[in-house]
Structure 1
């Protein structure tokens, strides 16, 4: 990591503004030093990692993707070095949005092998080899889940039982969800993390657990967990509403964890209250990993103020990354990795580098600077300038 230069010595950058004008932006942030934590965290914290694609591969980006395995695994080593676990092959890795099941399984195999016994890994298990439109019965969905369960358990990874587009399509109500999860949880070899992803992340998951009423849906999933508590490590909830998460957290049986997936409110949810706290399984932690690591170290030392001082400013950046349409947050996560030198290009599976506007990317740059999340301001400025030039901002 380079030493921090004073803002006066950093190159100025021309950035677009919402009114169509351009401004000269001077960087102001002090980069957070990425380092190994001095003590174990008091929370389990998984970063849902993105994939780095090979931009020079012979393929049609909107149809297929070719992963750069070396860079993808190197980024996971970076996250592990900060004390974070990896949530592999989740939606942050563009699961179902440019990355298919065979590629996901290879990703899980490679990450699990690299992790060995030294690092935490959980891996997404879904039904994406079964196109939702081709699902006809609950048995179709169960078979698809079972295929992935068997394959992932063979790698040694623990499982995140991901929400299924196919199940959302064929289920007629709460009883169908209960029947499917009952079958699956009875056969997994180790406790799994359940997964409740709101329709702001994936519109195809609207009404998951059998109802569009969140209260009714919560009753369903709470009942499933109560019936299978020995097979449930925890549940990741991503509804971008802290009240829902806290309500469900207070209903969990002893020993079942809440993993926040709330990229808007994670600071207070991880800190917790007198009745409990959340652990973390967050796409945002891919982008803000150095801050997350430093803050969690403070929390482990019971330095609540230090925890909040470091992590609270990142929530504004995260809210911007995850702004509607939320499913395109992956674009900002990969853009952050590009700015910070974790990959040499801003190219994504499915061509999703085009999914956010130039103004959106410019604001990411400003906010990443302000929060100390540009690890080398000179390199980040050079890369931002290159992206802007391709998009017509040349100065």
Structure 2
């Protein structure tokens, strides 16, 4: 077995670079050597970082220059009955976060939803996008390129789908800006989040576009995709899964459990999430949907940077008067671009794989895509619970006292 001290000395002597250590030792030894070097260079102790529970080799597809692991506390909320297009029955939702009171708040919202009979949830649109940008001489060549793309969808699909046994090209939408042509490819990536799949497939299709049109590829991503950035196109057209969850909460339950009224919650939502967000120029019209999404992403091995797109959510709260004079609360959250998968990427890591097992959604679904749809629906219900709980706390003026009671 290679001595990590020997690796440290070889790095210090300039014989090896940090990223080359796995070529000379097993993955755990390489990680230990990096920790030793870092401890000496920075005069720190990395005992906790080095105390991880999975073989370092298991993380090879997910990290470079590994030194250990960042351990984030994980809890669970639920169960809550979900009536979805893919998710049905009771589900626990693992959430990983360092924000105190988050799980308590979400669990309170889920308790109210459960007492109201559960929530409905549906994936209404699905399509992972990649949008390359091409250079043309001017608008005439741009129009020629767009015309060819619109008339040759089958050729583009054949090229793109030749790179994957699972992905399916759904649509190619052209956009012209001066002498730039953007093609927004959208794919059904089944149970994979699918960003890599979409990128590789689009690269193959771009070769056909260059061969058959005047357009020259400048960049495989032209930011019209748009990945990991606030973008109106994702809020409007969607990216990944577009999913909505809703529930009707009886007025007496709102008063008993949230200590407020349907009318007060609806007003708080309008003035805060809708008017306030509009005044701020926000792309997200919600209270804190990204909070639940981020915690679910960390727990289940999703790409955490894509929480940016998941914040493109709209929360609606309406007071509905019944014939008997009582008032119920209609609550919904619509996430336009929730990018999730149950295969590939971080879902293979042992901790995250176990979290998906808790959900009963590890690996590919039958039919393909059903597991990722179910995960999106369950996360949406969790986000709805978080919205309901926070708006209840705000409208009852209990937000500060709740944090004080929990010692946060």
After TM superposition, is the score higher than 0.5?
A: no
Q: TM-score scaled to structure 2, two decimals?
A: 0.24
Kindly indicate which of the two structures has a greater share of residues assigned to strand: 2
**Which structure has the greater CA radius of gyration?**
2
The TM-score normalised by the length of structure 1 is 0.24
